């Protein structure tokens, strides 16, 4: 039996996949991008962060923006897990595997970037050894590492369900037992990820000497804590829908019913509506409270193209009410509106993370300093591209060999 025939035995029961050559070509294409990023990563480790476009004004740049964005978009995992296992919306079992893999990719990818982004990566464990309990970043370090472990625990039974592995009785039973305790991990994951998303928002909100990002407290948290959680759980399910739709387009096969995708989009849209209300209140309070007290005006928060008002209005107007309408009205029944709504929701959260990361630092607080423009260089782009390619590789391998979509066989019967 040739390798091509053997490989076919690794597929989930009853499905078809593209030819091995085509798949290897796809992996090779992704591998080249990943390899280029890996080289950039090694260059960064060897020569230090001087090879990046970061500087003393922009300690945070593309990498942190990328991290915040993928972590927010990866929030579909914990939130869908919460709804599926804790609240008990059973229908979501048809898409939960995809969200778990997406969450794993997003968090492990963010960890990869973070290991690059700290000046002394081998000291990263100091976050546990010398924790500053007042720092939101400490909470981020705790939650991101713990939650990645939870995601690994959630991902392992999926791997063990691979057709050949599952024939081994021990692995079969292990996968079964892990599934039994999964609601517990879904709960832990939801707790960790909620606090992690919140702490990322809190990280900026507590910078009281940076009026662009500073926000007042609600109990012990600045309210960006809650805004980041809400924006993540609204955009996370939307990205899951987009990934699912993209995979269907790419593979030419139906993976879930439109009803499931529509349900996810509705969940995302509902959360987006709640987020929108609070984001508008936040913006109003920022313009009329935080900024005047700092001696600054709304107009002083924007500059040129890369820090322009267009970003503000795109985020606040185009990427909030428009997707809410698309995702929460009967328009959702039409794929064009549903996917556009999901794209806008994701775009909004990316802009939000960008302005909090970069614009917050670029805005001159000292009156005699000027706006400084930051542009990431090849080393930052290449490593970010590596993580995207890594995500595609993991997802491609998972789709090809693991039984991710319970409805796939039924939906593609001829």
Candidates 79-87, 204-212, 248-256, 382-390; binding stretch for other proteins (CB under 8 A): 204-212
Q: Locate tokens 């595609």: which residue?
A: 392
Q: Which of 217, 308, 335, 410 binds other proteins (CB under 8 A)?
A: 217
Residue 42 is a binding residue for other proteins (CB under 8 A): no
CB of 210 to other proteins, least distance (A): 6
Residue 15 DSSP code: -
Is the separation of the CB atoms in 17 and 405 below 8 Å? no
Question: Which tokens hold the place of 52?
Answer: 């990046």
Distances (CA, A) of 279 to 192, 200, 211, 271, 272: 23, 16, 17, 12, 10
The residues with which 218 forms a beta bridge, in sequence order, are 221
If DSSP codes are grouped into helix, strand and coil, which group holds residue 367?
A: coil
Q: Locate tokens 């009329």: which residue?
A: 288
Candidates 101-109, 152-160, 165-173, 360-368; binding stretch for other proteins (CB under 8 A): 360-368
DSSP H stretches of helix in 133-168: 136-160
| Between 365 and 409, CB nearer to other proteins | 365
Residue 252 is a binding residue for other proteins (CB under 8 A): no
Q: Which of 16, 177, 329, 369 binds other proteins (CB under 8 A)?
A: 369
| Between 47 and 310, CB nearer to other proteins | 47
Q: Contacts with other proteins in 65-94 (CB under 8 A)?
A: none
CB of 104 to other proteins, least distance (A): 24
CB of 293 to other proteins, least distance (A): 6
Is the separation of the CB atoms in 95 and 265 below 8 Å? no
CB of 364 to other proteins, least distance (A): 9
Query: What number of chain residues touch other proteins (CB under 8 A)?
Result: 52
Q: Which residues of 353-385 are buried (b: 16+ CB within 10 A; e: fewer)?
A: bbbbbbbbbbbeeeeeeeeeebebeebbbbbbb
Q: Contacts with other proteins in 148-187 (CB under 8 A)?
A: none
Question: Which tokens hold the place of 404?
Answer: 């991710």
Within 8 A by CB and 6+ apart from 11, the residues are 17, 163, 400, 401
Map residues 130-149 to x or -, x wherever contact with other proteins holds by CB under 8 A.
Answer: xxx-xxxxx-xx--------
Residue 2 is a binding residue for other proteins (CB under 8 A): no
CB of 384 to other proteins, least distance (A): 18
Residue 310 is a binding residue for other proteins (CB under 8 A): no
- 277 C-beta neighbours (distance < 10 Å), count: 12
Residue 218 is a binding residue for other proteins (CB under 8 A): no
Residue 244 is a binding residue for other proteins (CB under 8 A): no
Residue 377 is a binding residue for other proteins (CB under 8 A): no
**Quick one: angle between helices 96-117 and 136-160, nearest 10?**
130
Map residues 94-123 to x or -, x wherever contact with other proteins holds by CB under 8 A.
Answer: -----------------------xxxx--x
- CA angle 403/400/250 to nearest 5° reads 115
CB of 23 to other proteins, least distance (A): 39
| Between 124 and 407, CB nearer to other proteins | 124
Residue 206 is a binding residue for other proteins (CB under 8 A): yes
| Between 220 and 336, CB nearer to other proteins | 220
**Quick one: angle between helices 224-251 and 335-354, nearest 10?**
140
If DSSP codes are grouped into helix, strand and coil, which group holds residue 217?
A: strand
Question: Which tokens hold the place of 204?
Answer: 């900026």
CB of 408 to other proteins, least distance (A): 43
Instruction: Note every long-range contact of 164-171, with CB atoms under 8 Å and residues 24 or more positions apart, other chains counting.
Output: 164/9, 164/10
Residues contributing to the site for other proteins (CB under 8 A)? 48-50, 54-60, 117-120, 123-124, 126-127, 129-132, 134-138, 140-141, 203, 206-211, 214, 217, 292-297, 360-361, 365-369, 372
């Amino acid at each position: 039996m040739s390798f091509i025939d053997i490989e076919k035995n690794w597929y989930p029961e009853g499905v078809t996949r593209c030819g091995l050559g085509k798949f290897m070509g796809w992996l090779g294409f992704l591998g080249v991008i990943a390899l280029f990023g890996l080289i950039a990563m090694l260059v960064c480790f060897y020569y230090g962060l001087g090879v990046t476009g970061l500087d003393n004004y922009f300690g945070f740049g593309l990498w942190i923006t990328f991290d915040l964005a993928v972590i927010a978009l990866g929030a579909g995992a914990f939130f869908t897990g919460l709804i599926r296992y804790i609240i008990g919306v059973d229908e979501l079992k048809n898409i939960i595997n995809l969200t778990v893999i997406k969450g794993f990719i997003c968090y492990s990818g963010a960890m990869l970037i973070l290991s690059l982004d700290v000046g002394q990566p081998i000291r990263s464990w100091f976050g546990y050894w010398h924790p500053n309990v007042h720092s939101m970043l400490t909470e981020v370090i705790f939650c991101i590492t713990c939650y990645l472990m939870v995601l690994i625990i959630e991902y392992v039974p999926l791997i063990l369900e691979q057709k050949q592995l599952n024939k081994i009785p021990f692995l079969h039973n292990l996968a079964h037992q892990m599934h039994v305790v999964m609601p517990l991990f879904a709960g832990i994951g939801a707790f960790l990820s909620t606090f992690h998303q919140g702490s990322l928002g809190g990280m900026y909100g507590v910078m009281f000497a940076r009026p662009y990002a500073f926000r007042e407290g609600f109990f012990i948290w600045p309210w960006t804590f809650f805004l980041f959680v809400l924006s993540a759980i609204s955009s996370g399910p939307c990205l899951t829908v987009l990934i699912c739709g993209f995979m269907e387009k790419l593979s030419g096969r139906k993976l879930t019913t439109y009803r499931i995708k529509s349900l996810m989009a509705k969940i995302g849209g509902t959360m987006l509506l709640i987020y929108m209300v609070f984001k508008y209140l936040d913006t109003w309070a920022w313009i009329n409270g935080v900024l005047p007290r700092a001696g600054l005006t709304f107009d002083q928060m924007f500059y040129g193209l890369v820090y322009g008002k267009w970003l503000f209005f795109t985020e606040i107007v185009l990427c909030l009410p428009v997707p809410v309408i698309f995702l929460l009205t009967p328009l959702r029944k039409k794929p064009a509106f549903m996917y556009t709504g999901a794209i806008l929701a994701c775009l909004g959260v990316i802009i939000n993370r960008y302005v909090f990361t970069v614009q917050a630092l670029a805005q001159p607080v000292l009156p005699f300093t000027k706006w400084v423009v930051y542009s990431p260089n090849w080393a930052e782009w290449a490593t970010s591209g590596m993580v995207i390619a890594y995500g595609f590789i993991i997802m491609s391998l998972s789709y090809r060999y693991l039984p991710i979509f319970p409805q796939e066989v039924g939906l593609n019967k001829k």
